[in-house]
Amino acid sequence: MAAKERGIFKAVADSAMLFRKRLSVTAEQESCILQVEFTKPDRGGLGFALVGGVNGSTLRVKDICCGGVAEQDGRLRVGDILLEVNGIIVSGLSHSKVVDILRKAEGTVQLTVCRDILPMSACSASNYPTEAHGNFNTLNSAAQTEAHPDHVSFHSDCPECEQESRNCTPTCQRCCPSLGVTDMLQEKTDPQKQHLENSAMKTEHSQSDGWSSDEEEDGDDDDCASQPSPPETIPLTGRPIVSEEELSSLAVISPPKNGQYTGSRVKALIQALEQLEKQDLVKEFMALEHLNPSDNCLVGKAPENREKNRYREILPYDKTRVPVGEDEGYINASYIRMKVGSEELFFISAQGPLPGTQDSFWQMVWENRSDVIAMMTREVERGRVKCHKYWPEKLDVPKETSRYQLFLDNYQMLGYFHIKVIKMVEKKSGDVHFVKHLKFTTWPDHGTPHSSDQLVRFIRYMRAVHAKGPITVHCSAGIGRAGVLICTDVILSLIQKDLSINVSDIVKEMRLQRHGMIQTKEQYLFCYKVWLEVLQNISLLYGHHWQTETSS
């Protein structure tokens, strides 16, 4: 494929948005951030329409016009987020401003876009029902991979579209249908329609929140106007792994009879939690900020390890860091052990892998025999790279590291988290280790979730499938959302065992093992929210039963 005809694909992992460094084809296919170059005709535009750009909102490709430059090139996708035009960062600019930049551009036009590329196999693609108009197979065509370009381009001889592609305001729905949720639902059967409606509602719900937080940016301003991340899509799935009914069943917590989380006692506790003042909880959180570091971080600060840290100031303590290999090499990860009665919950809390640390990350998973990875971030959020895509994406294409081959054995995409079963094969010995990779996808770009229900289900499933070794947890920095997950897991376990809960003590214990766990006051308040909502659900579920027992 000639560069002149198809442009040049480039991918980078640079949160400063300076996408200049060329990578290999393999790395490009794995990236979420792509650069595409078009040659703009002397007359007419590039043949695509944008939507968004209101009050700093994301600018997204809405339509690709039949017969236009973008459609002929075939690589730009509906749903792609526009980040740069010829090196000009357009994040936060208005729709009219960006359209004006595009109109004034001449000759070669370079676009930087963000896309969430999700796994697909050739065998499963043939079984997925196609749309009646065009070849869009999912809610957002951006979920398709480069291996299946026929799934995302329109093929038509419609003259109306060719005429309208010049001003990029397509109205002929036969060839250029809008990809709005309502339009897509009209082509779906009832079960599919309901599934997409639920997914769309969850996506919309997750894009706004009452509190602003940018918990994992090094030195960033909480009030900065940043781009929302691309919504998660529902792509093809592998063999069924778990049903919603099973997840609902797992989410039910049954405290011991006659314990502190039953009857009138749990109702009194709920009332007490409901009456807590937000300002008092914030003071409680701020008191934790005055805790002195429990150890040095000399290994993480060593000059040879600086490039292995995603953020300069977020480093593991020397005494709890996870050593890698016989020479006890460095990775930004910490052991965290949390007591729950006589038992111990064992975690590794890590930063999101970088391109240069993914080999060490998988070596750490292998050496610690960790069988669950819980991922609490998306690869790109608000136009910033948060985590390298370190896992295999296709059923038939293994991912290679220096020591291991990683095979995607099976996967399932649920509305709020993704499950991947990954088979690790050590190249030297041929030994095999299976890992469940769980990616929570509905944490909003700002603040915390509105409800704890989805996170509780995610954590209960994580705990149910865990069998051995520490659970490896990561977000971007490995202290914010990762801390919320660990704290929530501890709270749920304490309730299950009828033990008392002290959120401040839980956070303090985590921070003694990794500095800064639970990074913002919003995250701290959310831990209380989890505690309250779980108790409310217990009361609703068992309240009538308790009343019956009391009356008898």
Which amino acids are annotated catalytic? 475
CA separation for the pair 324, 319 (Å, rounded): 14
Residue 542 CB-half CA count within 13 A = 24
Write the single-letter amino acid at 27: A
Q: Say which residue the tokens 């951030």 belong to.
A: 33
Q: Any residues with CB less than 8 A from the CB of 46 and at least 6 apart, and which?
A: 38, 40, 68, 69, 70, 102, 109, 168
- Residue 371 to residue 471: CA distance in whole angstroms: 7
CA proximity to 483, closest of 336, 362, 341, 353: 336
User: In whole angstroms, how far apart are CA 106 and each of 49, 101, 276, 411, 412?
Assistant: 18, 10, 60, 44, 44
Which residue is it, tokens 């010995």? 429
Helix (H) or strand (E) holding 439: strand 432-440
Shortest CA distance to 353 belongs to which of 382, 328, 322, 327? 322
Report the distance separating Cα 53 and Cα 65, nearest Å: 20
Quote the tokens at residue 426. Answer: 């050590």
- Judge contact between 449 and 213, C-beta under 8 A: no
Contact indicator for 166, 71 with CB cutoff of 8 Å = no
CA–CA distance, 215 with 446 (Å, rounded to integer): 9
Buried residues in 229-255 as b, exposed as e (16+ CB within 10 A): bbbbbbbbbbeebeeeeebeebbebeb
Closest by CA to 419, choosing from 390, 458, 468, 377, is: 458
- Ramachandran category for residue 221: left, alpha or beta (phi over 0 → left; psi -120 to 50 → alpha): beta
Cβ neighbours around 326 below 10 Å, total: 7
Within 8 A by CB and 6+ apart from 402, the residues are 359
237 vs 285: CA distance, rounded Å: 41
310: left (phi over 0), alpha (psi -120 to 50) or beta: alpha
Which helix (H) or strand (E) covers residue 216, if one does? Answer: none
